[in-house]
Amino acid sequence: MDQAPAKRRIKWEPGALMVLVVGLGIWLVLMTPGDVPRSPDKTYATLRVGPLRGYVEISPPNPAAPPETDARFRLLYRGDEASEPMTAPQMQALVGERGLDKLLAQADNVWFRLFNITSWTSFGWILLGFGAQAVFMSRMLIQWIVSERRRESVVPAAFWYLSFAGGAMLFAYFAWRQDIVAVMGQTTGIVIYARNIRLIWKQRRRERRRTEEESAG
């Protein structure tokens, strides 16, 4: 009497290593010191003016000084010295009323500072980016699980569908971020994923046609 094949267990080591690497990446992002001096009594907001990138250092308001003379703002461009302290009207003359409101909102909101955004609409794009990464990562999880069960390297069809969906979402996210390096990286991938999906469809049509011909014969 034949024995039923034993279920193959998935090794836990690759999954543990994956979690460790993800944790390392998050730690590096959050804990690596930036290029701007930090002060516990000040807040910082990112700023981009043309080709210049940097930060706005915002000090707490001085209750004894009117806004017209309270110099609370300094520009800290990367690699350059800080500007002279500026008042709110001076800062508004530089970035506009709406720009000043966004700077203050970003400085006061921990989520805006963490993700380098200025509005809740931008936070929606952040969620899209996280969703895209989740879809993109799930393709590798599926490929890994299928390969572990078969004890050989296998690329299931779901791998290409998830790759295309995740790649398209990441392309949109990086385009919004204006990250040309990441956009270029996703461009070639999307074409390759779409081509593999096309080949899968053509293969299935050939197999279906062959089955119909054998049934008719």
DSSP secondary structure string for all residues of 101-156: HHHHHHHH-HHHHHHT-SSHHHHHHHHHHHHHHHHHHHHHHHHHHHHHHHTS----
- Which distant-in-sequence residues (6+ apart) come within 8 Å of 137 by Cβ? 166
- Position 161 scores a pLDDT of 95
Instruction: Render each residue's pLDDT in the chain as its tens digit; 217 residues.
Output: 445 445 566 666 777 777 787 778 777 666 655 555 566 677 777 777 666 677 788 888 888 888 778 888 888 876 667 788 888 888 888 888 888 887 777 776 667 666 777 677 888 899 999 999 999 999 988 998 898 888 889 899 999 999 999 999 999 999 988 888 888 888 888 889 999 999 999 999 998 888 888 887 6
Q: How far apart are alpha carbons 163 and 99 in whole angstroms? A: 38
Check: pTM over 0.75? Answer yes or no. Answer: no
CB-count burial class (<10 Å; 0-12, 13-18, 19+) for 98: exposed
Phi-psi region of 151 (alpha: psi -120 to 50; beta: other; left: phi over 0): left
Q: What are phi and psi of 56, to 5 degrees?
A: -110, 120
DSSP state of 11: P
pLDDT of residue 200: 93
Would you give the end-to-end CA distance of the chain in angstroms? 37
